[in-house]
Structure 1
C-alpha cells in the first residue's frame, strides 16, 4: 500500500514537472524556431492555448469514462510528442501543430493530475497540490536555461521530452485511484452569477499569455537578441511570477483582503504596461523594465479571481465550476493574442501593451460585480 502511494506520488511529480517544461518550452524556443524555419511563429502561442482549451474540455468526458491515471499518461505522452516535434520542426506548420498538441496534453494532465492528487492523500490535498504547483514553477523557470544552452542542437532540445516520458513509466506501475469521476453540475442560476468571473478570467489569461507566450520573442525583437539569450526572457517571466505570487500570499497572511490586492495589483500592472507601451519604440531596452514589473503585479490575479468565484460554492459545485472557469480562461489565452496578431500588431508593439493595460483594468471591475451577484445567490439560497 505504501509502495503504491509512493509510486503514485512519484508519477504525479514527474507529470507536473512535465507541465513546467511544456509551459515554457514553446515560448522559450520560439526565437530559435523562427530562425530555423525562417518564419514568424507568433501564432504558435494562441495555438498552444487552443490546445489547452480542447484538453480541458475533453478531460471531463475522458475522466468520466476512464481512470484518471490513464488520462494522465495520455496527456504526458502528447506533451512528449509535442516537445520532440517542436524541437525538430522543419517548417512553420509542424511547429504550430506541435504547440497545439502540447496544449492538448497540458490540459489533460492539469485536470486529471489535480484529481489524482486529491485521491493520493487521506486528508487535505492542499500540501501535495502546493508542492506539485511549485514543481511546475521550478521546471518552467529552469527549462529556458536548458534551451539557451541547447540552441542550435535540436536533438538536445528533444531530450526535454524525457520528463513526461518518465512520468508515464512511473504511472504505469501506479494503481488506479478510481475508475471514473462523478461531478455534480452547478445550477444555471449559479452559473449566471459566476458570469462576471467567467469574463474576467479570459481577460487576465489573455494578458498573461501575451507576456508569457511571447516572453522570449519580445526581448528578441526589441533588442535584436540572439535566440539563445532571448530564451532567458521566459525564465525571467516565471521567476517574476513566483515573486508576485509569494508576495500576494504574504499579504493574505497579514489579513489584506483579496479584493483589495486584486485592485492594487491590476492598477499597478495597467500603469506599468502603459509605460512599457510608451517606451517600446523610443527606448526598447528601458521598456522591458516596467514590463518586468507588470509581471510581478499581474501574478496574483488568476488565483484571486478564481478563489473569489469559488469561495461561496459547495465542494461539489466548485469541482464543476472550476472546469468551466478554467476553460473560459483558456479561451482568452487563445483569442486575445490571436486578435492582436490579426489586427497586425507585433508582440513587441506599443498597441499590444496598451491593449493589455486596458484589459487589466476590466478584471477587478468584473470581479467586484461578480462578488455582489454571488452574494445575492447565497442569500437567496439560504431563504
Structure 2
C-alpha cells in the first residue's frame, strides 16, 4: 500500500508541474489582427490566410483548393537522391516558372502558380512557403481532411527542378514507384499521398470536360476514391480511355487515371490501397504523415518555424464509405491477395452522372 501511495503522490506532482508549465505558455496578440499566436513569427501568416481564403481559395473545397494541393506535390517532388538534383519543396515551380511550367507533367498549374505568386509578393513570403501553406489551407477547406503541419522559413529556390521528376499517369507502376523511391518514398507512402485524389479533378486530361472528378464526392476528403477505383471497368473489364493517362470508369461523369487504376491492382500497392477503403482514420493519419515528409523535401527543418496553428481546423465529413448507386461488392475487382474487400452499403436510388467540379467563385 505504501508503494501505491508514493506512486499516486508522484503522479499528482507530475500533473501539477505539467499544468503549471502549460500556464506559462502565453499567446501573443498579432498586430492589426484579431488573432493570437504562440509564436509571434507566425502572426503574419494569419494575414496571408485571410488573403488566400478571400481571393484565391474562396474558403471552399473547390477547384482552387484542389489546385493548391496539386502544386504542393509538383513542386516538392522535384527532388532526386541519386542524382542530387532538385531543391524539393522550394517554390522553384513559381520562381523558375518559365522553365518548369513548360514541362508536360505541369500542364494546368500555371493559374494557381500565378495566384500564389501574387499573394506571396504582397506579403513578403517565399514561394516555397506560400505553396506549402496554400496546400495545407486548401486541404483544410475540405470536410473530413486532416489538419496538416505547416513549417515556415524556406529560402528561395536557387535553380529549377529537372524535367521528368513528376510521375505521369500513363507510366507503368514500376516506373512510378522507382521515381518515388528516388525521392525517398515507399510504395505505401505513395498510396497515402494519393488520398489527395479524393478532392481532385482533371482539367487537362480531357479538355472537353474540365473539372471531371476522380470520385463521386470531390467536395469531401473521404475514402471514396479508394472504393471507386476498385470497381470493374465498363463491360466488366478495364478499357483504355479515349485520352492518354485515362482508363474508362464505370461511373458516368467520373475520370479514372490509369496510374490510380494500376496502383489499385498492383501487388506492391493493392493491399495498402484497399486498407483505406473503409478506414478514414487510417487514410488521414497516413496522408498527414506522408505530407509532413513531402513538404520539407530538400529543407533543413531546424531552420523552419512551426506555424501549424494558423491552419484552419477542417470540418468533419458526413460521408460514410459506400458503393455508388447500382454497385455492390460483386462489382469489385479484387486485387489484394491477403484480405477481401470490405462489405459496404450501396447508396440508394438510380445511378446518376457525377457532376463536374465547378470553377471557383
TM more than 0.5: no
Structure with higher Rg: it is: 2
Q: Kindly indicate whether structure 1 or structure 2 has the higher relative contact order, using CA contacts under 8 Å at least 6 residues apart.
A: 1
Q: Which has the higher helix share?
A: 1
User: TM-score, normalising length from structure 2?
Assistant: 0.31
**Which structure features the higher share of strand residues?**
2
TM-score when normalising by structure 1:
0.30
